[in-house]
Amino acid sequence: MASPLPASLLLTLAFALALATGLIVKFWLATRQIRHVARHRDAVPAAFAQAITLAAHQKAADYTIAKTRFGLLEMAWSAVVLLGWTLLGGLDLLNRLLLGALGGGMWQQLALLASFALIGGLLELPFTLWQTFRLEERFGFNKMTWRLWLADGIKALLLGASIGLPIAALILWLMGAAGRLWWLWAWGAWVGFNLLLMLVYPTFIAPIFNKFKPLDDATLKARVTALMQRCGFAAKGLFVMDGSTRSAHANAYFTGFGASKRVVFYDTLLRQLNAGEVEAVLAHELGHFKHRHVLKRMAAMFALSLAGFALLGWLSGHAWFYTGLGVQPNMAAPNDALAILLFMLAVPVFGFFVAPLPVRISRQHEFQADAYAIAQTSGADLSRALLKLYQDNASTLTPDPVFVKFYYSHPPASERLARMSAA
């Protein structure tokens, strides 16, 4: 009788199979999207023929195709980098170099996490630059200067170090000092950190990158305030963000947690929509709060993270977890940073196959928020606002249906507007 395969080899095979299968599926989905959008490029769908010009429709098709083709290159490069870090020994080499330079202990582990993040950022840098200064520039969306891009990058790096390293140090300390249930304590620390971040983000973090000023349009402010009062929603303020300094894309969002909640409008949004349309867009966002979508997503995120920490707690104590992913650990010494990094690298590979479930739930939430907005404001205003946003953001009206099921967190325009018309 043949002896069973070692656990490390089984993990290697499972990881390689999941990665290859995921790449094949992603490639298939992307090529479907490209073909489907190209096939419908030369005619505006009948439902939009009176509202969307052929030139706008073709721009959206070209933008979608260009982004999807670019995504194929990113996908291939990411797979190469992932293999380099894992099965080809990149993470193992980096760990050994840092062990030789710093010895073991907390500083070496923090250096491993920081070095991994820096190297990963440098490996992704060419794609970030191309997307911002070539792809987005080509279609008229990029408003970022090189100076602003560099300033944002430096700020993000410093902010990431000042926030990320302390929480990483805390979790690493808990992994070594809190016993077998360290993962439960680490999860609690992670949840508390995220809640704190949501609380301080609007006041202390967001202004580092963007300028915010109070909404000064008295008519719109009165209309929006009355809507929020009708909906029983309280916010700390209404603000306009200088989104036009970086992109021509438009948006509006709520930010903060508890008493720190703010309503933020991109300046580009206020330029594109009239007061009734802005009110309708805000009513849609209020619909998410009315249906407790935000709380449900937070609860789901925290529940999944608890399962993830528990799984990491189990895996980190087994040598086959490391060797199966290309790392030779010293099980007599802490491998906590290695375990975290390997877990972060491996989970998305296996998690891709359940990706359609959360985006399906998200699409359902969008329909519910639309229905709430129609009940509180004008459905015609919401339809016009969404159509303007789809057009101004060059969102295709003819995405591939299968691609939508895997990737679209928001329903396509045709489905959303058809449901609004029916309502």
- Torsion, CA 228, CA 201, CA 365, CA 24, rounded to 10: 160
CB atoms within 10 A of CB 415: 16
Residue 3 pLDDT exceeds 60: no
Residue 331 pLDDT exceeds 80: no
The two tokens of residue 323 are 């060797």
pLDDT of res. 2: 47
Residue among 136, 277, 279, 285 flagged as catalytic: 285
Kindly indicate the confidence band of residue 254, based on its pLDDT and cuts at 50, 70 and 90.
confident
Is 124 catalytic? The answer is no
DSSP annotation of 45 reads -
pLDDT of res. 398: 94
Q: Name which residue leads in pLDDT, 202 or 70.
A: 70
360 Cβ neighbours under 8 A, 6+ residues apart: 405
Largest CA distance in the chain: 82
- The pLDDT tens digits of the residues spanning 371-404 come to 999 999 988 899 999 988 888 888 999 999 999 9
Residue 199 pLDDT exceeds 80: yes
pLDDT of res. 259: 61
Residue 326 pLDDT exceeds 70: yes
- The pLDDT tens digits of the residues spanning 106-162 come to 999 999 999 999 999 999 999 999 999 999 999 999 999 999 999 999 999 999 999
Backbone CA torsion sign across 163, 164, 167, 170: negative
Kindly indicate the confidence band of residue 1, based on its pLDDT and cuts at 50, 70 and 90.
very low
Residue 247 pLDDT exceeds 90: no
- Average per-residue pLDDT for the chain: 91
pLDDT of res. 33: 97
pLDDT of res. 88: 96
- Kindly state the average pLDDT of the residues 241-266: 80
